[in-house]
A and B are shown apart, each in its own frame.
Chain A
């Protein structure tokens, strides 16, 4: 049978799109590689100021229930490994699915952050710590160090602490080809302030407030206390770098060196700190290989987190009939992903001739995305708006 729409990826973007398109009357199939639908939503758990708890797992369950009740079909534990013109989506069991439209909503992946010793057992990615703690309810360790300062790691530090894990501190990585600005205390101070204006937790809020003052910001990099600031109960060490992760057969310590006022590392003063788990936070990048290999025009936009398929205001790629939504278009929070999913599904429904008043529906869907972006509680990329403008300009000139 031929579907009207095949969605690849059952995260917030993909499921929202499927619901919207199905409600408009389209026949929709979602393909997702995980045993449970929900994508990155499944690991999210934090308190939003004045709004209560954001429990990603519940939100995912609700979306899936709604989708199945109106007849969206789900294929879980199935990878899509190729898309061919026509359109045909090829699955790992070699089944080929025919469809008029495809929505690629494959989300984002974590960047690795190599540090000497990073391949030892006990070193995990920060996203894995989030899923272990919030979804599987398993503590990743008893005494945990976090390396890499960004909105995700600051927020997950708090989540780990809530679960009863001792977080010994959040540190900078050493200067090397991979850490780049993540090793620069000045850059971090400037950007933390921008990233945390409506932060979901106390940690980020305090950091943000402190740094809104430009005078403080300028001085902060130089005068930020060498032994860290406790935000919540967790020390944020903007003047310490982890030079090495040590341990014979598994992690048992990290070697921490102070950063001097010029940003250099003072190796002679390094000391070991005992830990049994290290979480690395290297940032996120859009997972866009599927779009790249089917010939969509790809563009690299730093402000959005990496290489993305160029897309129109209606979320269509340069391959007619192939749409994108969610983190594949740039790193943002779950609510923006849902709004983008709605927009793509509205555009697809309009092409299918299912809408009575397509132009007003599209207009509304576009403004929803903008609204969610403005109200976002977690901003991953400080210059996301500029990144989106670049996309608009590039699209006009293709």
Chain B
């Protein structure tokens, strides 16, 4: 089961996530930064809930600092040119 892919966009397997937890990852954010799970083209639309589930399932509960990550704008992938253009206005 450990070679099952969890983050499809970045090809991160269950085994990789588990080994980071065993090596001390205590937040979903650190899992994300170490493996890129959730940082692919779908921006976690598919794997976000799964990574949170892996965290709560495999980590020792007293060790988990946070089992979720927040959301930030933009909530969907957009072209950099659009972001740049937008920065000139004042939204």
The A173-216 residues at the B interface (CB cut-off 8 A) are 176-178, 180
Is the pair A79, B76 in contact by a Cβ cutoff of 8 Å? yes
Give the one of B6, B56, B73, B75 with max A CB within 10 A: B75
Q: Which of B6, B73, B86 contacts A94 (CB 8 A)?
A: B86
Inter-chain CA distance A293–B71, complex, in Å, is 5
B33, CB-defined interface residue at 8 Å = no
Q: Which of A86, A88, A177 contacts B53 (CB 8 A)?
A: A177
The A284-314 residues at the B interface (CB cut-off 8 A) are 285, 289-290, 292-293, 306
For chain A, the count of residues having a C-beta within 8 Å of the partner chain is 29
Is the pair B54, A177 in contact by a Cβ cutoff of 8 Å? yes
Is the pair B82, A285 in contact by a Cβ cutoff of 8 Å? no
Secondary structure class of chain B's binding surface, majority of residues: loop
Inter-chain CA distance A115–B3, complex, in Å, is 11
B28, CB-defined interface residue at 8 Å = no
A96, CB-defined interface residue at 8 Å = yes
Is the pair A290, B75 in contact by a Cβ cutoff of 8 Å? yes
Inter-chain CA distance A322–B73, complex, in Å, is 17
Chain A: minimal CB distance from B14 (Å): 8
Binding stretch for chain B, among A58-66, A106-114, A156-164, A330-338: A106-114
Is the pair B4, A96 in contact by a Cβ cutoff of 8 Å? no
The A252-286 residues at the B interface (CB cut-off 8 A) are 285
The A75-103 residues at the B interface (CB cut-off 8 A) are 79, 81-82, 84, 86, 88, 90, 92-94, 96
For residue A84, which residues in chain B have a CB less than 8 angstroms away from its CB?
91
Closest to A111 in B: B49
For residue B74, which residues in chain A have a CB less than 8 angstroms away from its CB?
81-82, 90
B62, CB-defined interface residue at 8 Å = no
The B1-42 residues at the A interface (CB cut-off 8 A) are 1, 3-6, 8, 14
B64, CB-defined interface residue at 8 Å = no
Is the pair A92, B82 in contact by a Cβ cutoff of 8 Å? yes
For residue B57, which residues in chain A have a CB less than 8 angstroms away from its CB?
177
Is the pair A96, B89 in contact by a Cβ cutoff of 8 Å? yes
Inter-chain CA distance A118–B74, complex, in Å, is 29
For residue B86, which residues in chain A have a CB less than 8 angstroms away from its CB?
90, 94, 96
Is the pair A81, B78 in contact by a Cβ cutoff of 8 Å? yes
Inter-chain CA distance A88–B46, complex, in Å, is 28
A232, CB-defined interface residue at 8 Å = no
Given contacts A88-B91, A94-B85, A96-B91, contact A112 B46 (CB under 8 A): yes
The A353-387 residues at the B interface (CB cut-off 8 A) are none
Inter-chain CA distance A186–B77, complex, in Å, is 41
For residue B89, which residues in chain A have a CB less than 8 angstroms away from its CB?
96
Chain A: minimal CB distance from B85 (Å): 5
For residue A177, which residues in chain B have a CB less than 8 angstroms away from its CB?
53-54, 56-58
Which 9 pairs of residues, A with B, have the shortest CB-CB distance? A177-B57, A81-B74, A82-B73, A94-B82, A289-B75, A289-B71, A292-B71, A84-B91, A293-B71
- Report B's interface with A, CB cutoff 8 A: 1, 3-6, 8, 14, 45-47, 49-50, 53-54, 56-58, 70-76, 78, 82-83, 85-86, 89, 91
- Report A's interface with B, CB cutoff 8 A: 79, 81-82, 84, 86, 88, 90, 92-94, 96, 109, 111-112, 114-116, 118-119, 176-178, 180, 285, 289-290, 292-293, 306
